[in-house]
Structure 1
């Protein structure tokens, strides 16, 4: 009889790497206890997950204490000696997933052989095999509709269901915000203000202590924080790039930083998780740490996939579908910035332009299109905002937002009046 597939060495390599450097956790956040076979390893991984849920780092002493006598310090420290390199931890995680898949096959074969020996009906044997193989791939399983909604709790609610806003009152009133499990696509051509609107949304949410995960494939972390300070202070973004601040600018920047510094802890920035799968791992890890309530993706076109596609349409379609799955499975709202093609640069964008860039329109719960006449002077320019799709009874409408209120990059700051109140 064949032995069950297992790899204690790969298990030890991953656990040792996590204990030595918790920064690698996003790469293995989707592993479950069932991916480990050694009892000590299973206990350690479960304890690591428990610590993350409590917002604690998996340090050796904390692991020993949290395990309540199930682990010794020697068990934990031995694993540090077997740690793999950070660059190879995903390879070892892949080994564990394959071994776990093999164990399910092994278990199914064993159950089938026993069923044959017991003389069970073929249909019963087939059901045994299907159940064994589906246990992991089916996730947490189905939920009875009777258990989904508490009607009395719904009717007794005095406030709106929590949602994240885009930071502009008229827009939030029209869309109803973005709720858990929903994907809002903010689409535009280049240099219209997508990133700045995403940052305004992040500021509005951290101002009420929502935990925001901001992924950027376009800007380094420091540049994102500079944009936040530029928006809050009213100092032109160009001055942050060139460091040409006068005394008034420095005063305003210090004042802006003092206003928001206590809220910046609610904003987590990442620039490395460049696939939908890695984003899911990262978001799950943030949730385990008690964060990850809202995900902003800037922008979706910078994400890659493991599949080889002949067309960009197919690639973007997979990304759109994976993001929707992520929103539903982790029950979080997602704002995804989407780059429209340049085919009709001088024309107002439509949903048809979004259809040309994959299945984003089909997947999204809300679609917001931005456009601006770049020939107008910045101080007179308006950003045209169209809510082109609203699946959950949102309002399909259009509105204009002054360019200088959306992006603080040019023009005298005394003409800019909008500030985030925190």
Structure 2
């Protein structure tokens, strides 16, 4: 047991001095430093004040040198606090050039992150002893630590030539089937031909009226992706883990789902179930069946899973079941959730699939196939989504149809590709979708 916290927190005084010295040697180095650190990252208060003075001089288009920095500190009444003009000149003894400023800034930033981590955990410790609400405590910790993990290395200005080179490398890797950048397969070859898989940073909306098979489709995609080596997280707000397990075993075995649900399984069926369960032990498919979650909690869970086990695909089932604490209207809550899920996809660089209900408007039309206007509760869903995919089965409305067991996949928005239709076969007794070999009707939207 640790009896007391160390009095001196992580820092590197030499790296801090080297940064200040580099800027005094070459004032253009300040811009490089500002891309990585801020004044608050300096542990030494004197170094922090000197850096702040440099930033203020640059903002006023004043040259940065020993004289101007000293004068600026004197104007603010801080020159004696830092130790006088001799102390301002001291960092020049630490470096001979500004060449290593980026590395020195990373050292200072990393120590600052360590100190902030200590701060978050130190504040959490007495709350844990006080028996504060554990869900709130853990949520606060995850949010604050998540901000430290993901909030420091944001985008920076890059020349377009660098981006095009990187893009060409991406296209080349895609052509060669490089797993490191390849999209996650949807699990259905006909859908892959239309969408080319689930792509990193995309928000995908899978929508349909009740009983169309949204959860079944998403679960099938999750299992097949995991079997292919992807790391998949599935958050189920509607179904329990046991219910999902029944569906999963129905998909993966030749056993009737009703027989599984009622326990009417023959001896050879039990062997099949055991074999299937064993085959799934090595896949990276993680399920959270919490019934009540806010979008902030989903974001925290996704970040945690990415840190713990890695994450290539996240599925949320379904959007309208989220808790919208603080939202004035349900529509506002949905809009906020869809926007945050899009930001999460970009932050973690993974495809995020959100299932969504549709309004009853399509039930009233002669042609029951959904359109974008049917997205329930908020037009923001359509705006935020990179892909909007509708599931439609004619037999749900028309029981005497000749097209029993046929599911239509209607891609009505595809930000970076064609929209169009394709078909899958729905096998009701096994509660699964299968490839339906046939043409893909694709066209640019």
Band the TM-score falls in, shorter-chain normalisation = 0.5 to 0.7
In the TM superposition, 1:14-53 aligns within 5 A as: 46=117
Is 1:291 aligned to 2:307, yes or no? no
Q: Give yes or no for contact 1:165–1:178 (8 Å, CA) kept in 2.
A: yes
Over the residues paired in the alignment, what is the CA RMSD in angstroms?
4.1
Query: Which residue is 1:165 aligned to?
Result: 185
Bigger relative contact order, structure 1 or 2 (CA pairs below 8 A, ≥6 apart): 1
Q: Give yes or no for contact 2:426–2:434 (8 Å, CA) kept in 1.
A: no
Is 1:87 aligned to 2:133, yes or no? yes
Distance 1:256 1:45, change over 3 A: farther
Partner deviation per Cα, 1:28-56 (whole Å, 9 max, x = no partner) = xxxxxx99x9xx9985985999xxxxxxx
Q: 1:153 aligns with which of 142, 145, 169?
A: 169
In the TM superposition, 1:89-128 aligns within 5 A as: 90=136
Is 1:408 aligned to 2:424, yes or no? no
TM-score of the superposed pair, with normalisation by structure 2: 0.61
- 1-side partners of 2:250 and 2:372: how far apart? 32
Query: Which residue is 1:246 aligned to?
Result: 266
In the TM superposition, 1:9-408 aligns within 5 A as: 46=117, 83-85=129-131, 87-88=133-134, 90=136, 140-146=153-159, 148=163, 150-151=165-166, 153-154=169-170, 156-157=172-173, 158-160=175-177, 161-263=181-283, 266-272=284-290, 274-310=293-329, 312-345=330-363, 347-354=368-375, 357-372=378-393, 373-374=395-396, 375-376=398-399, 380-393=404-417, 395-404=418-427, 408=430
- 1-side partners of 2:282 and 2:260: how far apart? 21
SS of 1:388's partner is strand
Distance 1:340 1:407, change over 3 A: farther
Cα offset for 1:376?
2.8
- 2-side partners of 1:253 and 1:86: how far apart? 43
Total equivalences in the alignment: 312
Specify the structure having the higher radius of gyration (Cα).
2
Mark the runs of 5 or more structure 1 residues left unpaired by the alignment: 1-10, 12-33, 50-57, 59-74, 101-134, 411-415
Cα offset for 1:149?
5.6
Cα offset for 1:357?
3.7
Distance 1:408 1:377, change over 3 A: farther
Partner deviation per Cα, 1:192-235 (whole Å, 9 max, x = no partner) = 11001111111111112211110000111122122111100032
Partner deviation per Cα, 1:72-104 (whole Å, 9 max, x = no partner) = xxx9xxx69964547346258759999x9xxxx
SS of 1:289's partner is helix
SS of 2:388's partner is strand
Q: Give yes or no for contact 1:230–1:236 (8 Å, CA) kept in 2.
A: yes
Q: Give yes or no for contact 2:186–2:197 (8 Å, CA) kept in 1.
A: yes
Q: Give yes or no for contact 2:247–2:431 (8 Å, CA) kept in 1.
A: no
TM-score of the superposed pair, with normalisation by structure 1: 0.64
Cα offset for 1:153?
3.1
Distance 1:358 1:238, change over 3 A: farther
Q: Give yes or no for contact 1:184–1:368 (8 Å, CA) kept in 2.
A: yes
Distance 1:164 1:82, change over 3 A: closer
SS of 1:326's partner is helix
SS of 2:419's partner is coil
Partner deviation per Cα, 1:125-176 (whole Å, 9 max, x = no partner) = xxxxxxxxxx999754441223556446346534254111221100011011
Q: Give yes or no for contact 2:190–2:424 (8 Å, CA) kept in 1.
A: no
Partner deviation per Cα, 1:288-325 (whole Å, 9 max, x = no partner) = 22412210011111112232323x32221111111111
